[in-house]
Amino acid sequence: MSPPPSPSQQRIGLPWPELNDGLEYKDIVSSSESELTTVSEFYFTKYKSSAPLLGWIQRIQNGQIQIDGEVVKDPNTVLKSGSKLVYHRLPWKEPDTPYSLDILYEDDDLIALNKPSGLQVLPGGLFQQRTLLTQLQWWFGQKDSSTGACELHPVPVHRLGRGTSGILLCAKTKLAKTKLAAYFAEGTSLVGSGNLDQNCGTGRKLTKIYRALADGIIEEDEVVIQQPIGVVRYPGVAKGLYVAFPEGKPAFSKLAVLARDRQNNCTLVKVEIQSGRPHQIRIHLAYIGHPLVGDPLYVAGGRPKCFETDLVDDAAGFAEDGGYRRPNQPVPGDCGYHLHAHQVELLNLLNTNKVVKLVAPLPTILRTSSEAQEKSLPPAS
């Protein structure tokens, strides 16, 4: 848990309601999809990752599907080209999630938040309302209603894993969103072109430094990791799981050892990344044989603990809403590891010659007396 905010910091966040509002998914039937296709076949074919066939039949019989504004309960209803379909996902209680955030910095273009571990950034999976984006929208909705100002729509310009804490940058204007997205893409494009910089942040407009607790003792003071990262099929992750993969996309991380705890067999490290692949630090540290302490998913080699498929099939039981039950094996959103986006430096922000330097207080487990002996990376110039 992070220490209380300083008097200059503002804390935002509203408690979550017991149930979310549910969701609506809309489709229009194309001519190719309407050829003697039933409504149950349509949904099962198009959204296989959401539910088995029996699950979709259950949803239809529950009255959760509309065709051209009329509720249908017969799974064998034949679709017509051009028909408008609406699937109503029923409200549900999302998993327990923290909701308080500290504002680290704010100006007319940018707001930087200290995200707690356990809070998802954008909607996905079971988390549709309990996200950082929702709290951001609620906060600015309150501000706009109290001041009568034009409504703002701030959005995150990058992601942190649900179990990762620390600095998250959000754009308050379209220009800021475009510029910040370009800053994040800059380092990744340099890695992809082979123009690697061993000093990482040198010359870049945006520099991010993380703190992490790695399993085992890393004997080298500095390690550069250039293992590509790719996607493999994995049960419970519809778009695939990111892993260390020889034919994957280039990725570049540089770590420096801050402290070695031989008694507890772990190493505190500072990590700077020049590319921004999903779960990059978790994968790279696991790849060199030092996965993050408490990481439920990635093990030595940068791969998951197991690949066994245990999704339920049509003949088995499924969740209350007709969807698949959660897989038994770990998924990327599971927490327990120790990774913190500690520092961010923005140079020449939006071409205004403004320099923004941000530091997010460290969680207790990552604070150590040996921090004073930290060897700094070369500063960005």
Tell me the per-residue pLDDT of 208-262, one tens digit each, with 9 for 90 and over. 999 999 999 999 999 999 999 999 988 878 788 999 999 999 999 999 999 999 9
Coil, helix or strand for 220? coil
User: What count of residues does the chain have?
Assistant: 381
Nearest to 321 by CA among 72, 88, 26: 88
pTM: 0.84
Integer Rg of the chain from CA:
23
**CB burial of residue 330 (10 Å; 0-12, 13-18, 19+):** middle
Cα atoms in the 13 Å half-sphere on the side-chain side of 208: 25
167 with 343: CB under 8 angstroms?
yes
pLDDT tens for each residue of 51-72: 889 999 999 999 999 999 999 9
Hey, how many other C-beta atoms are within 10 angstroms of the C-beta on 246? 7
**What is the percent of the chain where pLDDT is above 90?**
62
What digits encode the pLDDT tens for the residues 80-123?
A: 999 999 999 999 999 999 999 999 999 988 999 999 999 999 99
- Residue 280 is which amino acid? Q
Between the alpha carbon of residue 280 and those of residues 200, 230, 234, 242, 285, the distances in Å are: 15, 10, 17, 9, 8
Q: How far apart are CA 215 and CA 227, in angstroms?
A: 19
Which pLDDT does position 322 carry in this prediction? 63
pLDDT in tens, 144-156: 666 555 567 899 9
Say if residue 290 is exposed, middle or buried (CB neighbours under 10 Å; 0-12, 13-18, 19+). Answer: buried
What does the pLDDT read at residue 153? 81
Task: Please tell me the predicted confidence (pLDDT) of residue 374.
Answer: 47
Rounded CA separation 343/207 (Å) = 8
Rounded to an integer, what distance in angstroms lies between the CA atom of residue 201 and that of residue 373? 21
The DSSP 8-state label assigned to residue 301 in this structure reads T
